[in-house]
Amino acid sequence: KAGVTQTPRYLIKTRGQQVTLSCSPISGHRSVSWYQQTPGQGLQFLFEYFSETQRNKGNFPGRFSGRQFSNSRSEMNVSTLELGDSALYLCASLDSGTDTQYFGPGTRLTVL
Amino acid sequence: KQEVTQIPAALSVPEGENLVLNCSFTDSAIYNLQWFRQDPGKGLTSLLLIQSSQREQTSGRLNASLDKSSGRSTLYIAASQPGDSATYLCASRGATNKLIFGTGTLLAVQP
């Protein structure tokens, strides 16, 4: 099976812009979670989607949003970008049979 | 607030040495604990997952243990190799269904 894929792999944006990141889970996985990784805060949970519904949400401002499509692919959107949003954004899909989370390679977002 | 702590933050060992990485968690009702490795600039690779009902899991040279009562997990790496050099992260999963990550242990295995 193909692994979790994320596009694009790298993004450079300027403050105030918005950005959309995409994640395709492993085939058959219906849960997709998003995480932000920064040197200062480590890995922090953003949100989880299951069957097109947000099932869980972390402590991030409303500028961070997401959605999931019927084929389980997920997108996350960050509006009004700030310098502090520069990070590696990771998505993970859940194998509900083994409870194992599988991560994609991440999208490196740089905000100038 | 649930927290996960990893000690040490960094570790350097000579090739061939056995080593132990430590992970402490505050959630007494975890569902499972998962160990990952992360290479620089890359995503996370799942190494082992231990369900709350289990005491340990093994995969090749890796052995992970879980002690819910003390809130601790360890990752044992036998006969370390330079290719084991990476950051190792543990993450607990509880009733909220989200992974709570530790800050990681940066491991360097010297040839």
Q: Which residue has the tokens 């604990």?
A: B33
Residues of B in CB contact (< 8 Å) with A are 31-32, 34, 36, 41-46, 49, 51, 89, 91, 93, 96-104
Binary contact (A100, B46; C-beta < 8 A):
yes
A-B C-beta contacts closer than 8 Å = 55
Averaged pLDDT, B13-36: 95
Confidence check: pLDDT of B98 > 90: no
Confidence check: pLDDT of B27 > 90: no
Nearest to A105 among B32, B42, B104 (CB): B42
Nearest to B34 among A100, A105, A108 (CB): A100
* pLDDT, position B48: 96
Residue B9: pLDDT band by 50, 70, 90 thresholds? Answer: very high
Among A19-23, B6-10, B95-99, whose mean pLDDT is lowest? B95-99
Cβ neighbours of B29 (radius 10 Å): 10
What SS3 class is residue A94? Answer: strand
A103, A107, A110: which to substitute to probe chain B, counting the most B Cβ within 10 Å?
A103
- If you measure CA to CA, which chain A residue comes closest to B3? A44
Binary contact (A103, B101; C-beta < 8 A):
no
Whether the CB of A25 is below 8 Å from some CB of chain B: the reply is no
- If you measure CA to CA, which chain A residue comes closest to B93? A99
Burial of A53 (0-12, 13-18, 19+ CB in 10 A): exposed
Going from the C-alpha of A40 to that of each of A53, B62, B102, the distances in angstroms are 30, 29, 12
